[in-house]
Structure formats: structure tokens, C-alpha cells
Chains A and B, each alone.
Chain A
Amino acid sequence: MTSTAQPEVLRAPLVVEFPFTRSLGPVQSAFLSGLRDRTVLGVRTGDGKVLVPPVEYDPVTAEEIRDLVEVGATGTVTTWAWNPEPRRGQPLDTPFAWVLVTLDGADTALLHALDAPGPDAVHSGMRVRVRWAEEREGAITDIACFEPYEGDDAPSQPVPHSGEFEDAVTGIVAPARLDYTYSPGGAQTRYINALAERRTVGERCPSCRKVYIPPRGACPTCGVATEEAVEVGPAGTVTTYCIVNIKAKNLDIEVPYVYAHIALDGADLALHGRIGGIPYDQVRMGLRVEPVWTEGGRYPDHYRPTGEPDADYETYKEMI
């Protein structure tokens, strides 16, 4: 038993990345297919308003709406904000203005970017037009951005549109990536640091006296902080297990293999680990195992039988 010293905080990059794949409804499909074909569509609500970008349900009455119209590719800025430092994923990588633009013939505004030389060149009420992306695929980014428009032609009126396009897009893939710096906090840092020294250290609840492993800084039963470090193991007992028959992507382990709950000696909670060094069909409840570290490993690669007689059921039944 040792008292817990304040650890050096562990940190590691954590990237959460996902290609969000979404199907489109009829109105969204028409709108994004239209953008691909340099046509901007809106939808007319029951009370005659034209919404651009269009939605499938009236935001006021919640009625389904399908009455598509084509609006202009020119419009008027209703509000704006100058973005001096573009961020990853934003439409332009040089300073630009965020704008809400009411396209000619529309009653609501579309959010996008405006390419302008500086904030002095932008004001609410200014006229702008769509700058189309060179390659278009049926996404909001088919509008590369807006640009100032000096033309003095009269704003166009919306005209009915069937919403039908050849090879209409029916879905979008929107990649999302967020970067984090993960830090596991005090208890788990102490646990991970000890593992790197090939020691397994849990924490004892001051109230119920149980030793939790891996420790998370709190006793889930009593809801109080666990601070007293307790070294457990290295050996333990298999309390229950399963046989894995499906090979996970990027995992260099032959199937079938056994994944088990292991109650380390001195711990009051079982942790998870793979069982090796024994045929998968000979693993059993009560099997005594010990951790195996690989060269340079910061945590046990797997657990293998110690060769001791099996543990009596009564000794681990509380931890199943």
C-alpha cells in the first residue's frame, strides 16, 4: 500500500473522424441536384413564402411542403461577419465574410461565405451572386462562395420548377473531423503509469473498502473519491469469458481467441483481458492466469495460465 503521488498528466492526440453518410428527402435531393446543375431551388410554404434553402416541413405549421420554385443566383446580404482567420473546412482559406444572403425571389436567407477584399467592402444590403465551384457533386459546397455583384438588373421572381433532374443525388457524404488532446485524469494516469512499470495498481474505496481496478477516481457504489493506491495481482482468476470468432479489422490476433474477465488477486472488480498460451477450448472459469508483457509494452499483451490449481468458485463468485 502506498499513498498516491500527484502524477505527471498523460496526454495523447485523439482524432475523431467520420464520413457522415446521409440520405436526402425529395426536397433536399432536388435542391442539391439543382446546385450541381447551377440551379437554385426554393420551396413555397402554405402562406406563399419562398424558403431558400428549402426544407420539407413548414417551420411554422409543420405541414409537409413540396412546391419547388427556382430563384436567382443573385441576392442581397441581410447580415454578415468578417472572418479574419479562416478555420479548417470553411469555404475559403483567405479572410472572408460569413453572410446570410436572401436570393432574388426568396423570403429567407442562406448561410455561406462571401469573397471580399476586406470588411470595408461588405455591408448589409449589398448585392452578391453565387460563384459556382468548378467541380460540383450535389452538396452545399457546390456554391464555392458568393462574390460582390455590381449588375443592376431587377431581382427575378421565383418560377415554378419540377425539381426533377437527371441522375438526381440521393445522399451526401459529409466528412467530419475533430481533433482532441485526450487526458485521462488523475486515477487513470496513475494506473497507466504503473502498468508501464509492470505493476497493476487499483484504488480502495474509503467507505466500502473495495479495491477498484482499473481505478477511475470514484467508487461507483458509494460515490466517493478513491485515493488509496493498492497494488494487486499480478496473478488472477478467470471469472467468465467468451470465445471470439470474428477477426477485427487491423487486429493481428488469430481467431478464435478468448476474451475474459479476470479478477486479479486483491482486487474487488474484474478487468478484461485476452487469454493466451492455452487452446481456446480449454479456458474455463476459475483458471489461474498471469499477465504477459511484450518487449517495450506499456500494458499486458495478454494473460496466460500460471499452472496453479483452479480457484474455488466461492473465492470469485462475487466478481462475476
Chain B
Amino acid sequence: MRPPIRDIAVVAFGQTDHTRTSDEQSEVEMLMPVLHQVLDATGLKTSDIGFTCSGSSDYLAGRAFSFTMALDGVGAWPPISESHVEMDGAWALYEAWTKLLTGEADTALVYAYGKSSPGSVRDVLTRQLDPYYVAPLWPDSVALAALQAQALIDGGHTDEPALAGVAARSRESATGNPHAQLRGSVPHGDYVVNPLRTGDCPPIGDGAAAVILAAGDRARELCERPAWIRGIDHRIEAHSLGVRDLTDSPSTRLAAENAGAFERPVDTAELHAPFTSQEVVLRRALSLGDDVDINPSGGPLAANPVMAAGLIRIGEAAARIHGGNSRRALAHATSGPCLQQNLVAVLEGEDQR
């Protein structure tokens, strides 16, 4: 990948505790403490932010233009430079990154939130499927992931005990994550849709996250050890599941290649694999060996606030660099059924160039 024309870093990351329900708080009430967490960490005020971008979904809220309500939390008056993606916040971060690349802004606030608790997220997610041939059948998100899992098992890439191992490792790692929803030993449970059991599925919950990006010396002023975004790219595959090889993720591999992930090894990978079987796909697509620390946060199997979980992967990877626990980390975010869309970012500490 051609080096970016400006160095841009994640300089702050914050997230809520992720919980099964949060009905005592509106979206903006849930989000605001997180916004202040990242602002306080950098000493920035809302009026200092050059660009603001968010990711969320009206279908989770069941209300049109629900994101406009959340804008109350960022001090949108007097008018700010703002945008929104109806996707995971990782894609909002991508938009903010391009905005900073143009030189139009030096800092950006990126946030994402999702409350799955008011509705039935398995059914809600069917509304992103092909409306002609697929959505009228209402195949829920677990069913589609289970088709992918069976394809992996048939292909000899994994088996049910190995999937249980992914679940156990993730939730064990999450014991070190005070924000996680599922931590420690969690029963692998009954089949939800065979071959996936409850333990193979992410918890359903609510949460929010925020990140601040800054360019060049501004980043160095705001953060002791900025997490420099060395590359970031996102790719999509055919919408129709029957066209794709569900055991592979060429879009992840291509995004990683374009982000420069294969130029040098990474020590940490935060993968947005809501289902255990999807970690198998991503490990293969990214050629991640056993020496890479996968999802030290516990990953989406420990907390999966829809629309924020991908941004949290970038934030967790950045936080590892901020804290000196990683030198070069990969962050991945996904959207759509069976890893349809994939974003990969490569983050490094200053000393790595």
C-alpha cells in the first residue's frame, strides 16, 4: 500500500460496560459518558473537534433517523462538521480517517452505539438481506452463521470441540476486560441452530464506544504513545450467500493486503468474529499463526454491541499500543451475513517505523 499522505493515529478510546439491557438510559444517555471519557483523555473540548462521524442503525432502535438524537451528546450547536454511517462505527472511523487525510481536519471524534435489547436482533438483522430472494424467508443471523460453520466442518477446517475452544479462550481472555458482558467460564450450552451452540454465539447486548483520531504532531500532543494507523481498507463480497465460498474470506484477505498487514508480522489481532466459526475463517484469511494474540479483550464473543463491536476492535487494538502491550496490531471489523463486508486496519506504535 502507498503510505498515507498524513500520519493519523488513534489517540483515545473509550467504551461502556456492555450489558444485556440498558433500558434505563436512552442512546444519548448511554453514549455521553463515553464521549466525555475520550475528550477528557485528550483534554479536547467538543468545540475543538474538527470532524465527527458516527455509526448506528435505525433498525436496532426501530425508529427513523435515530442517530440525530445522539447528536445532542456531541454539542452539535453551533453547527459542526458531522457525518453518519448506517453501519458499524469502524466504517465511521474509515470516513473520519479519509477526512483527516484531506487535511480538512486535524482531529476527529468517532462514536458508535447499539441497543439490541429493545428488539430481537436475530430478526432485525434479516432486514439487511437480499429483499427479493432471501429476506422473505427470515433466515436469522445465527442460522446463516450456522450454515457457514457447517461448511467449515464439512471442509475439515474445524470441528465442534475446536469451536468450543475458541469460545472458552475468548471468555477467559475477557476476565481481564471490565467492560465485557460474558466473562470466564461460560457453559457451551445447547444448540441454537446446529452446529452452533449458545457458547458459539455472541451475547446480545447494548453498548457504545468512542475513539478520537488525530493527525501528525497533533496526535503526539494528545497522546503519549499514539496508535498510528499504518493502513486501512475495506472490501465487500457478493451479496448472494450461494455465490460465495463460505469457508474463505477473500475480502478480508484483500483488505488486509491493501492495509499492509502482510508486510510485517503483527503481535495482536482484534477480530470482529461474532461467531466462533468466523474466527476460523478470519485466521485462515489473515494467515494468523498461534504466536499472534487473538482478541485479548475477549472479542465479540464476550461483548457484541451491534454497530459498535467493530469500532471496539480498532479501539482495543489501539489501547494495546497506547499501553505498550503491542507494537503492531491488526484490527478487523465486519458487517453483513457470514462476514460479507470486512475492514482491516493496521496500527503501530511510533517506534515501529
Please say whether chains A and B are actual partners in one complex.
Answer: yes
Bound form: Cα–Cα A9–B238 in Å: 43
User: What's the Cα separation between A179 and B144 when bound, in Å?
Assistant: 21
Interface stretch (choices A65-73, A108-116, A159-167, A233-241): A108-116
Pick from B29, B46, B138, B154: contact of A223, CB below 8 A: B46
A9-B23, A55-B240, A225-B32 given as contacts; is B132 within 8 A of A178 (CB)?
no
Size bin of chain B's contact surface: 35 or more
Q: Is the CB of B194 within 8 A of A84?
A: yes
Instruction: Name the residue on A nearest B78 (C-beta).
Output: A221
The interface residues of chain B lying within 8 Å CB-to-CB of A55 are 240
B118 and A183 form a contact (CB under 8 A): yes
Residue numbers in A under 8 Å from B240 (CB-CB)? 51, 53, 55, 59, 108
B27 to chain A, nearest CB (A): 8
Closest to A182 in B: B118
The interface bits of chain A over 69-109 (1 if a CB of B lies within 8 angstroms of the residue's CB, else 0) are 00000000011111110011111000000111010000011
Q: Which of A299-314 contact B (CB under 8 A)?
A: none
Distance A136 CA – B50 CA, assembled complex (angstroms): 56
**Residue A204 at the chain B interface, CB threshold 8 Å:** no
Collect the chain A residues with CB atoms within 8 Å of residue B133's CB: 53, 110-111, 140
Q: Which of A99, A218, A225 has the most chain B CB atoms closer than 10 A to its own CB?
A: A218
B352 within 8 A of A: no
Taking a contact as CB atoms under 8 Å apart, the answer to whether B154 and A216 are in contact is no
Q: A20-B131, A174-B131 are in contact. Are A82 and B139 (CB under 8 A)?
A: no
Bound: A100/B154 CA distance, A: 13
B161 interfacial by beta-carbon distance below 8 Å: no
Question: A185–B24 Cα gap in the complex (Å)?
Answer: 5
Task: Please determine whether B62 and A178 come into contact, CB atoms closer than 8 angstroms.
Answer: yes
Query: Does the CB pair A59–B243 fall under 8 Å?
Result: yes
**Cβ of A22 under 8 Å from chain B:** yes
Complex CA gap A201/B196 in Å reads 49
Interface string of A258-281 (1 = CB under 8 A from B): 000000000000000000000000
With contacts A78-B151, A88-B123, A100-B242 known, is A140 near B132, CB below 8 A? Answer: yes
**Of the residues B35, B140, B151, contact of A79 by C-beta under 8 Å:** B151
Task: Find chain B residues with CB under 8 A from A217 CB.
Answer: 25-26, 28-29, 32, 72
Give the residues in chain B near A183, CB-CB below 8 Å.
23-24, 118
A14 at the interface (CB under 8 A from B): yes
Find B72's partner among A81, A84, A102, A220 (CB 8 Å cutoff): A220
Contacts of A9 in B (CB 8 A): 23-24
Is A117 interfacial (CB-CB < 8 Å)?
no
Q: Evaluate contact between A218 and B72: CB separation under 8 angstroms.
A: yes
Q: Does B223 contact A (CB under 8 A)?
A: no
Which residues of A have CB within 8 Å of B143? 81, 83, 98
Determine whether the beta carbon of B119 is less than 8 Å from that of A119. no
Inter-chain contacts of B136 with A (CB < 8 A): 89, 139-141, 172, 174
**Is A157 an interface residue when CB atoms closer than 8 A count as contact?**
no
A220 vs B70: C-alpha distance when bound (angstroms): 9
Q: List 11 A-B contacts (CB under 8 A).
A: A81-B195, A87-B122, A98-B143, A140-B136, A179-B119, A185-B24, A185-B26, A186-B24, A217-B26, A218-B32, A225-B32
